[in-house]
Structure 1
């Protein structure tokens, strides 16, 4: 990515633009968008950054401007040095500790501590190194599921990126069958490389990870491996809402769904979509501006025995 557009605006304005980007299903995949606060001591001052390979023309500028309801604020356009901007963006980021997990890049050594699982995620073309609040929150929530006694024999990680959350799931439930998927074809070799670096065997079987490229649940292997005890999706609020019926159908009664990638301001809409699909909230976390949701699918409705002459009652098992 050789060019970058930066827009400075108050946090609500940037958040609204990010939501508009999520809903723009015809968005040019060659334009990568991200929003963030400018400085920790100014949490309401945000920036939207857009990276692209070529110098932005009228079409690119218009697409970015269209994300803002009242027109885009001033755009700062700059040509970047001929360097790997993804690599640069992840250099110098400190490792994270969440539950039993230590996620680190090659710049940092593993930690030799009892019960701690080191996960090495090198800088690559795919995101998800665990530094983002949503991924870190997912690691903590997975550990909480395990501690609560959740039994997982079959799991799926939708929108896997680097494969990190799938690796974490297999560490917590080492005999589970696992499938990871992503819509971006570049994630296939990235996950394979990271799986090898972390000692995660690829393939079909207990303790192994199968990787597929597909949008949502649209792949024969994802459908064949269902129903799942655990489905993980750290993506965006728009796709999470759209995929709610498909995710619910792919999880067995009483199964678990872990959702992330949604802003706290989007949580209500996401939870409503999953409630309509038959899932209830088991737990939630808020990490900064982001929500992490643990949902469970309702178990099958059954008839409760009653005394002679009395109508049977219905019960819902969770």
Structure 2
């Protein structure tokens, strides 16, 4: 038997709760969270849904309520019929089709089109509302970078979650070496499972991706594997600002940093931090309320353009 807890609130309140969920390092991963519009004709009325395969305890409800910065909305608990609750949590999660990529949950089929790379990623791992939009933007920007002639021999995906963006980078630059990291230890087996399901190879060497558990750049393998031609970080605005000097030092002169996970209203603050660290904007995209930024480190002797 599975259960669902639902909270109804305005869009900005639900989105803030989803961001808090993504930043909750001690979250119980048996509780799957998603946010969505209640109806197409009411775009500002949203719901947060939490699925689990047990009756919600007081601690479970407190954890869900704790995602809301102010007073939490009323939590509605319901028992669901016998079903696969993970599959239920994936219903209505549309595939991402951006750039040369098609990313879908297991309930959808691959497109099997020439020139399109299919990835299958369970929604319970990667498709919170903000994550869906920022992932799509990153896939579009990576495709744009490739078409602009960016060459990558060494890449890092910081805060990888599922491994998807690292996998996408290796698809575009198949001879590159890659390393992915996340602060959450549960991501290690998740990345391994997703690599196996998508024909990606883990480990060290060209066309392979190593995986480490680390906060920011604080891991010996991350230091040893650098400097990088491309560093990807789809995390949150606060950590992006804090890590700007570390990211700048980790890329080669002329190298690229791809940032996501920041709201458009947070973009000026993030860009200012990276400008101070010696990176300038190469391109930007907006997906919904979210900004995706491609920044480049100054080449040696290059004047910084404001």
TM-score for both structures, normalised by structure 2: 0.83
Range moving further from structure 2, 75-84 or 40-49: 75-84
**Which secondary structure state, in structure 2, belongs to the residue aligned with residue 301 of structure 1?**
coil
Query: How much does 1:292 deviate?
Result: 1.3
Query: How much does 1:8 deviate?
Result: 2.0
Deviation string, structure 1 residues 94-118 (Cα, Å, up to 9, x no partner)? 4332222222344444334332222
2-structure distance, mates of 1:285, 1:198: 27
2-structure distance, mates of 1:6, 1:246: 39
1-structure distance, mates of 2:213, 2:60: 29
**Which secondary structure state, in structure 1, belongs to the residue aligned with residue 126 of structure 2?**
coil
On the 8 A contact 1:23/1:238 being kept in 2, the answer is: no
2-structure distance, mates of 1:203, 1:66: 36
On the 8 A contact 1:195/1:202 being kept in 2, the answer is: yes
2-structure distance, mates of 1:229, 1:317: 20
1:29 to 18, 27, 37: 27
Counterparts of 1:214-233 in structure 2, within 5 Å, are: 214-233=214-233
2-structure distance, mates of 1:54, 1:285: 42
Closer, same or farther: CA 141–23 of 1 in aligned 2, 3 Å: closer
On the 8 A contact 1:163/1:191 being kept in 2, the answer is: yes
Which residue is equivalent to 1:191?
191
Which residue is equivalent to 1:89?
89
Query: How much does 1:32 deviate?
Result: 6.2
Which residue is equivalent to 2:208?
208
TM-score for both structures, normalised by structure 1: 0.80
Which residue is equivalent to 2:289?
289
Residue 64 (structure 1) aligned with residue 82 (structure 2): no
Counterparts of 1:265-284 in structure 2, within 5 Å, are: 265-284=265-284
Counterparts of 1:161-180 in structure 2, within 5 Å, are: 161-180=161-180
Which residue is equivalent to 1:312?
none
Deviation string, structure 1 residues 17-59 (Cα, Å, up to 9, x no partner)? 556x37977x752376554332222111123445676634379
Larger RCO: 1 or 2 (CA < 8 Å, sep 6+):
2
- Structure 1 gaps of 5+ residues are 303-314
1-structure distance, mates of 2:234, 2:190: 17
Query: How much does 1:156 deviate?
Result: 0.6
On the 8 A contact 2:33/2:50 being kept in 1, the answer is: yes
Range moving further from structure 2, 4-13 or 134-143: 4-13
Query: How much does 1:141 deviate?
Result: 0.5
Which residue is equivalent to 2:110?
110
**Which secondary structure state, in structure 2, belongs to the residue aligned with residue 126 of structure 1?**
helix
**Which secondary structure state, in structure 2, belongs to the residue aligned with residue 189 of structure 1?**
helix
Counterparts of 1:35-50 in structure 2, within 5 Å, are: 35-50=35-50
**Which secondary structure state, in structure 1, belongs to the residue aligned with residue 204 of structure 2?**
coil
**Which secondary structure state, in structure 2, belongs to the residue aligned with residue 268 of structure 1?**
helix
Deviation string, structure 1 residues 101-138 (Cα, Å, up to 9, x no partner)? 222344444334332222233x2752259981211111
Query: How much does 1:92 deviate?
Result: 5.6
Query: How much does 1:15 deviate?
Result: 4.1
Larger Rg: 1
Closer, same or farther: CA 268–183 of 1 in aligned 2, 3 Å: same
**Which secondary structure state, in structure 2, belongs to the residue aligned with residue 300 of structure 1?**
coil
Residue 256 (structure 1) aligned with residue 256 (structure 2): yes
